[in-house]
């Protein structure tokens, strides 16, 4: 799975993409966030649980309980500020 | 019923875009245009904005809002141009144009697309000012603006 980071999350992590093999117990987007916080100190520091973030699976906005399923890419970013 | 969405770094000419948009719409009795600009205020002067975006997702999301607006308000056409990269104060960031038979649908169509775009299109603004750079926080009022369309 490819993970893409945007805006200040990307800057503070100092990376824009990452490739990761997901363990079987990671089923939902929320599971993925837990997994990242447990296995990646930088992610845990930059994106603690109280951070307001938004998520997309293969270009579609999703909620925390959305199943990752066959998605190839997850994007993690702060609330959007376009327009 | 046409939808055209362009995401580009280049500057655009707001007036020229409207003229081009209306050129092939003989049925249109109304066209509205919203142009969003880079602004600097006395409280927080800035020199420029840098817009980061998620290219594939931005294109899909804006096309979706535009298509929704066409169906919801029975519009003749919608065109959206959104820029990314660095832009100076006074330059245009985004332009939404909606065409319809009568005025209300055109007003509503452009308003609808902008309200959704503000909160659900993947762009992030970073201000460049005298004290350095600063990511812009999302505004609560943008979330509530969008909610009126779900009622």
Residue B17, domain extent: 2-150
* HEC readout, chain A: CEEEECHHHHHHHCCCEEECCCCCCCCEHHHHHHHHHHHCHHHHHHCCCCCCCEEEECCEEECCCCECCCCCEEEEECCCCCC
> Which among B62, B58, B93 has a CA at the least distance from the CA of B80?
B62
**What CATH number is given to the structural domain containing B12?**
3.90.1170.40
Neighbours of A48 (CB within 10 A): 9
Give the mean pLDDT of chain A. Answer: 97
User: What is the pLDDT, as a whole number, of residue B141?
Assistant: 87
- The CA distance from A39 to A18, in Å, is 13
Q: What's B111's DSSP letter?
A: H
Query: How many domains in chain B?
Result: 1
Name residues whose C-beta falls within 8 Å of residue B58's C-beta, 6 or more positions apart in sequence: A82, B7, B82, B121, B122, B123
User: What is the pLDDT, as a whole number, of residue A52?
Assistant: 95
Sheet holding A2-5, edge to edge: A17-19, A2-5, A73-77, A54-57, A60-62
- The CA distance from B139 to B137, in Å, is 6
> Percent of chain B, pLDDT > 70?
99
CB contact under 8 A, A78 and B54: no
Report, in angstroms and rounded to the nearest whole number, the Rg of chain B calculated over CA atoms. 16
Shortest Cα–Cα distance, B21 to chain A (Å):
20
Are residues B99 and B22 in contact, defined by beta-carbon separation less than 8 angstroms?
yes
CB contact under 8 A, B122 and A56: yes
For residue A31, report the phi and psi dihedrals to the nearest 5 degrees: -60, -40
Of the two residues A78 and B44, the one the predictor is more confident about is A78
Of the two residues A48 and B144, the one the predictor is more confident about is A48
At B23, list the tokens: 């050129």
User: What is the pLDDT, as a whole number, of residue B24?
Assistant: 82
Shortest Cα–Cα distance, B136 to chain A (Å):
7
CB contact under 8 A, A83 and B93: yes
Tell me the domains of chain A and their CATH numbers: 2-77 (3.10.20.30)
- In tens, the pLDDT along B54-112 reads 999 999 999 999 999 999 999 999 999 999 999 999 999 999 999 999 999 999 999 99
């Amino acid at each position: 799975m490819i993970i893409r980071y945007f805006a200040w999350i990307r800057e503070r992590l100092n990376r824009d993409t990452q490739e990761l093999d997901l363990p079987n117990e990671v089923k939902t987007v929320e599971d993925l966030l837990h997994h990242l916080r447990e296995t990646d100190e930088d992610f845990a520091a930059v994106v603690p649980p109280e951070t307001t973030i938004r998520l997309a699976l293969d270009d579609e906005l999703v909620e925390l309980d959305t199943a990752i399923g066959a998605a190839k890419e997850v994007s993690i970013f702060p609330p959007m500020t376009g327009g | 019923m046409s939808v055209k969405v362009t995401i580009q770094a280049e500057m655009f000419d707001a007036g020229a875009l409207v003229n081009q948009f209306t050129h092939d719409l003989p049925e249109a009795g109304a066209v509205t245009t919203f142009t969003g600009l880079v602004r600097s205020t006395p409280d927080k002067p800035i020199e420029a904005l840098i817009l980061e975006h998620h290219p594939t997702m931005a294109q899909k999301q804006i096309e979706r809002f535009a298509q929704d607006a066409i169906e919801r308000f029975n519009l003749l056409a919608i065109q959206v141009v959104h820029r990314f990269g660095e832009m100076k104060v006074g330059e245009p960031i985004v332009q939404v144009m909606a065409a319809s038979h009568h005025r209300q649908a055109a007003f509503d169509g452009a308003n609808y697309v902008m309200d959704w775009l503000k909160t659900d299109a993947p762009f992030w603004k970073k201000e460049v000012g005298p004290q350095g750079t600063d990511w812009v926080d999302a505004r609560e009022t943008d979330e509530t603006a969008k909610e009126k369309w779900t009622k």
